[in-house]
Structure 1
């Protein structure tokens, strides 16, 4: 869906990202904007701030309904259903919801109970993303997780019992001291919970994390490769199609909110440290970001906005392809012009170069990485740098 405003640039679909920055504890691998929660959470004050933040973004809506909402963190399931209900009511009073809107809430095993899940479902939240990471005690301990494998399994059971027929399990591989058998065992247990979607990705050492400064011993490259190949084969055999670098879904259950990111759609970001990407009817595209620290975000004397950057025409090809080439099937070539306002011919030289190296399919109608291009995505994207 696109929306043409004033007969000029066709605006892309619009989504909303809501950042809840608190966790029970900070994990050593996590580089997200998350902070250990105190004995009480400032739910009312934070919801007030989120709605005020959203008020400042309403001029960017241009009549578009929200196609999806994603509560990320942090651990959004630490917030009560009462607080999230007030927030969703406030959002809907400001921006129309699409009839088939997807509303996802991230949750961690051990941070909820079934009654809370039911209350979330009654609010209209219709998709959960449960952060499992592993089902094995020693791996969970190494990752600093506070749940155990049995709690993770119960979380999936609770989700179904509460009425969620669409949920994701978040799982990592390449964990400290992990073997191929360990990784496949985790995958088999996850598949047995019958999630509609699996996010399965390799642990990486990110700057400004404990693991960056004190890296654990992770599997050698050849073991990582074996895990990747065997895991992808297992997921495919069980009916989970890989549609993005680390995303696997049953038919019709791809994450619509994430697909909006990967097809260069627009999204408003509210909350401490949230990022947004917004287009204007004149074709101008900007990325913006919000005040990072919760205490500053909640301070009425400070501004929600921490910065904005207008993307130049030279930057747009890389920005567009950095997202779309993550998709296993790529995107129709015509989407480039629809999302950027630039002629498709502006990619010709870089496309030929990437095709010659076997990183991009030679298909005039699609922009799609080859299997090698997906493996070496950074190398592929280098061809499109300004």
Structure 2
């Protein structure tokens, strides 16, 4: 049995401050970051996980957060060197690092060169907006000028980089949303991620919601952003992702194609496929300890896992579709059996219902959401919950 491609996610949990919309495992810095201790813990965490991956090479590495650009270049080099010494990297492995423009002001932007020298070959910049009013509303620590300078620095050191943008922001109109897109396009980024702001539970925005554009205005923003990026030659390949031809994010594609990924670091999640005695697959989920101090202590004690469980067979169709149906071009029918270890017949009734509702298209051996299915993705996914 051929196992899925393997990626590695590395979580860095600290930020300068917690943004009010953020529901990620991030913690505002209250003193010195224990950089050396944390890198050592990440290395020990990986070593403990090696038996689960059986010598499989990494197709991609993604260092996310939090704000990984708070890491020094020397610490990142130690980490990546240690990873390469313990697990094989594919020859063309994609190595991504997230960065906040507010952490690389002025001459400090030279740290991008140190990241490149350490082995990072793709940078993802959290821009969100260039407009002062919207940046203030989002609680971002950078200005529009900081964002522009960070993009210029990224382009000097990386030929592959992503810009994260958000729309439907407090006080934003359609012209403002498109203005952010046009500013970003002036830098010709290889990749853009464009997300609608949503109010997530347990965030400051959920407790005190800001006034957001109504649903019709947000829908118009989405439609016009998609049209603007298509006209600029970007391929809309996933719900929120747009790329110049051939510049799709390989790490995220592995998620969406239900590939495997090992997650290390505070609060990191992982998904691993293991052959079982019946000739099929067992899909295992792992979760690391969430609080940074607890994570450091538990790793030191040889207990990096806070939780580990196998996904019940009946839940696999929904988990697969939750990822694969984010891809606008869908997936080959054979991928379901390859990644879930189940026959496609297991979801034939759900596929038929979704096709009859105009949410799904089956053609040429592929399964893909229709434009209606893309717009009403949650409704489409409900069909596959019924199989769980």
- TM-score over 0.5 for the alignment? yes
User: Quick one: which of 202, 208, 218 aligns to 2:196?
Assistant: 202
User: How far apart, in 1, do the equivalents of 2:332 and 2:101 lie?
Assistant: 39
Q: Is 1:22 the counterpart of 2:7 in the alignment? A: no
User: How far apart, in 1, do the equivalents of 2:53 and 2:45 lie?
Assistant: 14
1:10 Cα offset (Å): 1.6
User: How far apart, in 1, do the equivalents of 2:29 and 2:323 lie?
Assistant: 32
Q: Is 1:360 the counterpart of 2:349 in the alignment? A: no
1:246 Cα offset (Å): 0.2
Q: Which residue of 1 aligns with 2:133?
A: 138
1:64 Cα offset (Å): 1.2
Across the aligned residues of Structure 1 and Structure 2, the Cα RMSD in angstroms comes to: 1.0
Q: Is 1:232 the counterpart of 2:230 in the alignment? A: no
Q: Spell out, residue by residue over 1:164-200, the C-alpha distance to the aligned partner (whole angstroms, 9 max, x if none).
A: 0000000000000110000000110011111100000
Q: Which residue of 2 aligns with 1:312?
A: 312
SS at match of 1:104: strand
Q: Spell out, residue by residue over 1:301-324, the C-alpha distance to the aligned partner (whole angstroms, 9 max, x if none).
A: 472111012012111111111100
Q: Spell out, residue by residue over 1:209-265, the C-alpha distance to the aligned partner (whole angstroms, 9 max, x if none).
A: 000010000001111111111110000001111000000000110000000000000
Indicate conservation of the 8 Å contact 1:10/1:281, yes or no.
no
Indicate conservation of the 8 Å contact 1:14/1:268, yes or no.
yes
User: How far apart, in 2, do the equivalents of 1:43 and 1:220 lie?
Assistant: 43
SS at match of 1:160: helix
Under a length normalisation based on structure 2, what TM-score does the superposition of the two structures give? Answer: 0.96
Question: Structure 1, unaligned stretches of length 5 or more?
Answer: 1-8
User: How far apart, in 2, do the equivalents of 1:91 and 1:358 lie?
Assistant: 46
User: How far apart, in 2, do the equivalents of 1:102 and 1:38 lie?
Assistant: 32
Q: Which residue of 1 aligns with 2:211?
A: 217
Q: Is 1:284 the counterpart of 2:282 in the alignment? A: yes
User: How far apart, in 1, do the equivalents of 2:149 and 2:121 lie?
Assistant: 19
1:364 Cα offset (Å): 6.1
Under a length normalisation based on structure 1, what TM-score does the superposition of the two structures give? Answer: 0.96
Question: Quick check: 213-222 or 308-317, which moved more?
Answer: 308-317
Q: Which residue of 2 aligns with 1:330?
A: 330
User: How far apart, in 1, do the equivalents of 2:110 and 2:362 lie?
Assistant: 53
Q: How does 1:75-224 map to 2 (within 5 A)?
A: 75-112=67-104, 113-161=108-156, 163-224=157-218
Q: Spell out, residue by residue over 1:5-45, the C-alpha distance to the aligned partner (whole angstroms, 9 max, x if none).
A: xxxx3210000000000000000000000001133110110
User: How far apart, in 1, do the equivalents of 2:66 and 2:204 lie?
Assistant: 17
Q: How many residues align?
A: 377
1:114 Cα offset (Å): 2.7
Indicate conservation of the 8 Å contact 1:296/1:302, yes or no.
no
Indicate conservation of the 8 Å contact 1:291/1:303, yes or no.
no
Q: Spell out, residue by residue over 1:256-305, the C-alpha distance to the aligned partner (whole angstroms, 9 max, x if none).
A: 00000000000000000000000112211111100000010111347211
User: How far apart, in 1, do the equivalents of 2:343 and 2:26 lie?
Assistant: 40
Q: Which residue of 2 aligns with 1:241?
A: 235
User: How far apart, in 1, do the equivalents of 2:360 and 2:54 lie?
Assistant: 35
Indicate conservation of the 8 Å contact 1:15/1:260, yes or no.
yes
Question: Structure 2, unaligned stretches of length 5 or more?
Answer: none
User: How far apart, in 2, do the equivalents of 1:202 and 1:196 lie?
Assistant: 20
User: How far apart, in 1, do the equivalents of 2:286 and 2:301 lie?
Assistant: 20
Comparing both structures, which one devotes a greater share of its residues to helix? 2
Distance 1:302 1:37, change over 3 A: farther
Q: Spell out, residue by residue over 1:151-174, the C-alpha distance to the aligned partner (whole angstroms, 9 max, x if none).
A: 10111100122x200000000000
Indicate conservation of the 8 Å contact 1:276/1:289, yes or no.
yes
User: How far apart, in 2, do the equivalents of 1:205 and 1:35 lie?
Assistant: 19
Question: Quick check: 340-349 or 70-79, which moved more?
Answer: 340-349
Runs of 4+ off more than 3 Å: none
Q: Which residue of 2 aligns with 1:369?
A: 369
